[in-house]
């Protein structure tokens, strides 16, 4: 069964600290993996996207890694800011069908305290 | 910021009412999607469209219907709302011509059925 599991479910850190969010998936065949940021009451916004051949990608203070062999990805946030408080969703695309189906994780709820 | 809009943002209605959630995008994307999201849970695809006059049901069974008469417009209709329909509804679109097929999400409609 194709699944995307994220950990931790929630995380609280102090402003200025770093953190790492985890994503494990069983989706096959794998096409790409995205990290989205979803602010409360808003739609998700894409942060990074990685294909099979990419193992790291950065977007400002966000750095995503991908290990396609172990089917794991991580999102590292450096020098956290209050505006980083949001849900971070891992999304995997299988391209096994014409739809290019997306599998969503439940997200990690990050709270940054001053 | 993606050019995809949803109205209303919040809606509280009584059981049995007919409602239409509006979604429009100005990016000229062929693919459009409707997702349902409950708090702390993953997004579930309920409808999608590959273009004008094309609509398909998604993975999650839904009593809603959709139409795609114009490229930019993808409304979702509930003929008779029930409390079980209370949820957040997210509309998204993507460009079928790109290899990554990133989905851009609207801000969502928070529906409460009393």
> What are A52's two structure tokens?
């099979």
> What are B11's two structure tokens?
């809606």
Dump pLDDT digits (tens) for B25-38: 999 999 999 999 99
Identify all chain B residues contacting A23, using CB atoms and an 8 Å cutoff.
none
**Which residues 90-109 on chain B approach chain A with CB closer than 8 angstroms?**
90-92, 100-108
Distance CA B3, CA B34 (A): 16
Dump pLDDT digits (tens) for B37-59: 998 889 999 999 999 999 999 88
Dump pLDDT digits (tens) for A84-100: 999 999 999 887 555 56
Whose tokens are 């998604």? That residue is B58
Element (H, E) at A50: strand A45-51
> What are A93's two structure tokens?
């695309």
Distance CA B7, CA A112 (A): 30
């Amino acid at each position: 069964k194709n699944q995307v599991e994220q950990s931790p479910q929630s995380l609280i850190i102090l402003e200025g600290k770093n953190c790492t969010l985890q994503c494990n998936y069983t989706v096959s065949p794998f096409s790409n993996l995205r990290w989205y940021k979803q602010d409360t009451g808003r739609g998700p916004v894409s942060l990074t996207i990685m294909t099979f051949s990419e193992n790291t990608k950065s977007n400002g203070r966000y750095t995503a890694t991908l290990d396609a062999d172990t089917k794991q990805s991580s999102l590292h946030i450096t020098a956290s800011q209050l505006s980083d408080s949001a849900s971070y969703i891992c999304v995997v695309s299988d391209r096994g069908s014409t739809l290019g189906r997306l599998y969503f994780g439940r997200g990690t709820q990050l709270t940054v305290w001053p | 910021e993606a050019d995809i809009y949803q109205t209303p943002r919040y809606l509280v209605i009584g059981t049995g009412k007919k409602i239409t959630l509006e979604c429009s995008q100005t990016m000229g994307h062929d693919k459009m999607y409707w997702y349902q999201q409950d708090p702390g849970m993953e997004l579930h695809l309920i409808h999608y469209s590959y273009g004008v006059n094309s609509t398909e049901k998604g993975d999650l069974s839904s009593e809603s219907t959709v139409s795609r008469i114009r490229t930019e417009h993808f409304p979702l209709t509930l003929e008779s709302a029930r409390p079980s329909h209370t949820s957040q509804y997210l509309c998204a679109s993507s460009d079928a011509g790109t290899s990554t097929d990133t989905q851009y999400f609207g801000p969502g409609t928070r529906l409460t059925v009393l």
